[in-house]
Amino acid sequence: MSGDRKFEFDSFQDTTSIQSFLQSLLDGFSKGKIVLSSDNDEIILHPDSLVRFCVKAKKKDGVKNQLGIKISWKEPKIEFKRPDKTIRITS
Amino acid sequence: MITFEGLEENLKFIAIEVENQTRSTVSFINQPSRKLYESIITKDDYIDNLKTIIENKCFSIIHTNKELKKKDINRIRSIQTICVNLERIADFCVNIVRQMSYLEDYRILKKYDYDAMMSEIQNALSKVLPVLSQADLTGALVICKAEYSLDQMYKVNFDRIMEEIKKGLRVPELITILFIFRYIERIGDSLLNIGEALIFSIIGEKIKIEQFQALQTTLSNSGFQETISEIDFQAIWGTRSGCRIGRVGQKENGNTSPDVYGSIFKEGTGKKISMEKANLERWNQMFPGLVAKVYGYNEDKENASLLVEYLPGCTLDEVILTTDLPYVDNALFILQQMLAEIWEATSKPVPASTNYIQQILSRQDEILRVHSGSFRPASKLGDKIIDSTPDLLQKCLKIESQMRAPFTVMIHGDFNVNNILYDHSNQRIHFIDLYRSRDFDYVKDVSVFLISNFRMPIFEPVMRDRLNHVIQSVFEFAHDFAVHHHDKTFDIRMAFALSRSFFTSARFELNSSFAKEMVLRSHFLMEKIVSQDGMSWETFQLPLSILFL
């Protein structure tokens, strides 16, 4: 492990421009690789086959709206071998 | 025997005061007076204070004296329970005395036999101190039995009062009398607690009186001749399934049959225990030595008890969590060899339906009691429809009803990691807690085993890796077995079984975020199953990452 790494991006978008960001994330999920980089740093994420997906929406006083999407997963450590050949050992 | 000066003195005082209080109560019932009433109330305050002093001393001795032996701690715990119950008896006396003021004429009570009940109480109370100081087990049992006698006497009086109430005369007074008898009967409950605390102090084991009697009967049925005090009854583990298990060991050098000494005593509902007995016999016939031998069995109206061989070894969870990896791998190897042998030998090529989702449904109340938010409502995210938990369960139930396991094997039935013993010196595996054994889908045992590892609330990376390793090893073994036995629906049945094990495990987990993690994993699997509906079950691939944390 090379310690904690972070990427942050904060901006204003309109309903058209935001689509390119969301599409970029979708492409990343289908390729199994999401690269996030800035001048200082780069993070490459490989979404696992099991990800936690949490959506939270809030409408406060009818003025402030919030839609939170959180996707998290653990780095897979186990590599499972599905047996492809049939070797049988009996005692 | 160690004595705790001051503490024992205080206990002596409270016991004497409570005994006096019961005598004063009888005097008051016989002839109420303002003076006696006040004296009883004042004494009650004094008894309350004594109780607080004793409790403080008990906790402070345990807290400050780190060198206390287990036996001493047991004695202090026992003293604390005794004093709490003595104080409760004094409270009941006050309740009785207060009820008397609701009687228009106190003499009406004389028609009923409160005297016999109060004498029984006084007799039991007078034994408390001598039993404690002489560690007299028989005396402790006599105190316990007072509750039984009081119940019987209460019943006679209760029935009589109820008959009189039906006649419709003096009903308010009869109800007051009923209350008085009820308080007297409740003194019996406190006496039982005191008796059980005394047994605990003497034999160092928390055991209910019914269990104690069942143990005596089972031992005598199995040919054991000694008195019960010759037995060192020591709990070695408890189970979640409501059975209490203890080991019966030899106290000193005795010459009785060694079999009875090296044995385990189990007591529980008749059905459960008799199932266990039948299953143990079946396993023993097929795989001698795998499970415990049955030495004795006894059954009464509701409960049954069983005396079985004490098997050496550690539970597999202890092995996994406390030994080095090569030992763990060795234990897993032997376990897998044993499972392969059992599955091969007991396999019957009869397709069998499974009931994994039904098991979630039948436990849903229990799950919701612990985690009320574990069932989600139906919702929509844009156009995407999200099924509610009940809908998802119903869909899966329907799909499962169309599925069959291709063959059955003799399964353990509750294949938790702590129901497997590993005997390192003899290189053997043993199974325990077998009342759910039957011919069924082997995937059930595998799934229960895997999730009993997964659900251990251990998050420290090194130990979690260890658990993941065990899960992987056993899953690969089972998967291999499936491939070699042309079990083509293994993956989807495993998805059903795992969704069941994840969901129902939440009820044992009080850490809400970990419980939620398991419930969400169960939902994920059920959604996968539903998404496969209409396609061939044989093409379903279990998402393996679901098994690992």
CA dist., res. B131 & res. B146, Å (int): 14
Number of structural domains chain B divides into: 3
Residue A55 in contact with partner chain B when CB distance is under 8 A? yes
Residue B42 in contact with partner chain A when CB distance is under 8 A? no
pLDDT for res B465: 93
* Facing A55 at nearest CB: one of B381, B480, B483: B381
Q: Is the pLDDT reported for residue B227 higher than 60?
A: no
Angle (CA) A72-A77-A79 rounded to 5° is 120
Are B29 and B167 in a shared domain? yes
Whether A49 and B524 lie within 8 Å, measured CB to CB: no
Going from the C-alpha of B314 to that of each of B176, B205, B246, B320, B464, the distances in angstroms are 57, 21, 15, 10, 20
Nearest CA to CA, how far is A58 from chain B (Å)?
Answer: 14
Residue B246's pLDDT band (cuts 50, 70, 90): low
Are B197 and B241 in a shared domain? no
Residue B245 in contact with partner chain A when CB distance is under 8 A? no
Chain B positions touching A83 (Cβ under 8 A) are 476, 479-480, 483
Strand B294-299, strand B303-309: pairing: antiparallel
Are B391 and B516 in a shared domain? yes
Are B432 and B523 in a shared domain? yes
Residue A86's pLDDT band (cuts 50, 70, 90): very low
Residue A76 in contact with partner chain B when CB distance is under 8 A? yes
* Facing A86 at nearest CB: one of B475, B483, B520: B483
Tell me the three state secondary structure of residue B473: helix
Whether A78 and B381 lie within 8 Å, measured CB to CB: no
Q: Which helix (H) or strand (E) holds B422?
A: strand B420-423
* Facing A50 at nearest CB: one of B337, B475, B546: B546
Give residue-wise pLDDT tens across range B9-65.
Answer: 889 999 999 999 999 999 999 999 999 999 999 999 999 999 999 999 999 888 888
Domain end point (choices B263, B292, B309): B309
Please name the residue of chain B whose CA is at the shortest distance from the CA of residue A55. B381
Are B197 and B48 in a shared domain? yes
Domain end point (choices B168, B183, B203): B203
CATH number at residue B272: 3.30.200.20
Q: Is the pLDDT reported for residue B72 higher than 90?
A: no
Mean pLDDT of B190-205: 86
* 8 Å CB contact between B454 and B447: no
Q: B196 lies in which domain range? A: 7-203
Say if B52 falls within a structural domain. yes
CA dist., res. B186 & res. A34, Å (int): 70
Q: Is the pLDDT reported for residue B500 higher than 90?
A: yes
Are B221 and B193 in a shared domain? no
Work out the percent of chain B whose per-residue pLDDT is above 70.
Answer: 88
Mean pLDDT of B259-277: 73
Q: B534 phi and psi, to 5 degrees?
A: 95, -15
CA dist., res. A23 & res. B60, Å (int): 66
Range of A33-42, B252-261, B511-520 with top mean pLDDT: B511-520
Nearest by Cα to B370 from B509, B514, B520, B522 = B509
Are B255 and B360 in a shared domain? no
Are B188 and B230 in a shared domain? no
Where helices occur in chain A by DSSP H, the ranges are: 17-31
Among B93-102, B115-124, B308-317, which stretch is predicted with the lowest mean pLDDT?
A: B308-317
Whether B545 and A88 lie within 8 Å, measured CB to CB: no
Are B176 and B226 in a shared domain? no
pLDDT for res A75: 79
Are B302 and B416 in a shared domain? no
Burial A8-39 (b: 16+ CB within 10 A, else e): eeeeeeeeeeeeeeeeeeeebeeeeebebeee
pLDDT for res B533: 85
Please name the residue of chain B whose CA is at the shortest distance from the CA of residue A75. B549
Where helices occur in B204-324 by DSSP H, the ranges are: 209-221, 258-261, 270-286, 316-322
Whether A80 and B543 lie within 8 Å, measured CB to CB: no
Residue B373 in contact with partner chain A when CB distance is under 8 A? no
Give residue-wise pLDDT tens across range A37-55.
Answer: 987 788 999 998 899 999 9
- Chosen from A22, A70, A80, A81 to mutate, greatest number of chain B CBs within 10 A: A80
Q: Is the pLDDT reported for residue B138 higher than 80?
A: no
Chain B positions touching A86 (Cβ under 8 A) are 483-484
Chain A positions touching B547 (Cβ under 8 A) are 78
Q: What totals of helices (H) and strands (E) does chain A contain, helices first?
A: 1, 4
Nearest by Cα to A73 from B498, B446, B367, B543 = B543
Are B136 and B256 in a shared domain? no
Q: Spell out where chain A has E strands.
A: 34-37, 42-45, 52-60, 64-72
Residue A56 in contact with partner chain B when CB distance is under 8 A? no
Residue B524 in contact with partner chain A when CB distance is under 8 A? yes
Token pair recorded at residue B133: 């100081």
Mean pLDDT of B104-123: 93
* Touching A: B residues 324-363, CB under 8 Å: 337
DSSP A49: S
Q: Is the dihedral of CA B116, B180, B93, B41 positive or negative?
A: negative
Are B277 and B187 in a shared domain? no
Q: Is the pLDDT reported for residue B529 higher than 90?
A: yes
Q: Which residues contact B491 (CB under 8 A, 6 or more apart)?
A: B540, B541, B542
Token pair recorded at residue B340: 């392969």
Q: B353 phi and psi, to 5 degrees?
A: -80, 160
pLDDT for res B491: 97
Say if B1 falls within a structural domain. no
Mean pLDDT of B104-120: 92
Say if B493 falls within a structural domain. yes
Burial B477-509 (b: 16+ CB within 10 A, else e): bbbbbbbebebebbbbbbbbbbbbbbbbbbbeb
CATH number at residue B358: 3.90.1200
Token pair recorded at residue B437: 């054994």
* Facing A86 at nearest CB: one of B484, B520, B545: B484
* Touching A: B residues 475-504, CB under 8 Å: 475-476, 479-480, 483-484
DSSP A59: E
Q: Spell out where B270-398 has E strands.
A: 294-299, 303-309, 314-315, 379-381, 384-386
* Facing A78 at nearest CB: one of B472, B479, B543: B472
Say if B514 falls within a structural domain. yes
Please name the residue of chain A whose CA is at the shortest distance from the CA of residue B344. A90
Say if B2 falls within a structural domain. no
Tell me the three state secondary structure of residue B347: coil
Whether A49 and B545 lie within 8 Å, measured CB to CB: yes
Whether A50 and B549 lie within 8 Å, measured CB to CB: no
Q: Is the pLDDT reported for residue A78 higher than 90?
A: no
- Chosen from B334, B463, B468, B480 to mutate, greatest number of chain A CBs within 10 A: B480
CA dist., res. B359 & res. B372, Å (int): 18
* Facing B484 at nearest CB: one of A49, A50, A88: A88
Q: Among all chains, which residue has been given the structure tokens 């003293």?
A: B79
pLDDT for res B214: 63
Q: Across the strands, what pairs with B385?
A: B380
Token pair recorded at residue B58: 């008990």
Q: Across the strands, what pairs with A69?
A: A55
Residue A82 in contact with partner chain B when CB distance is under 8 A? yes
CA dist., res. A53 & res. B527, Å (int): 14
* Touching A: B residues 454-473, CB under 8 Å: 465, 468, 472
Domain end point (choices B261, B279, B309): B309
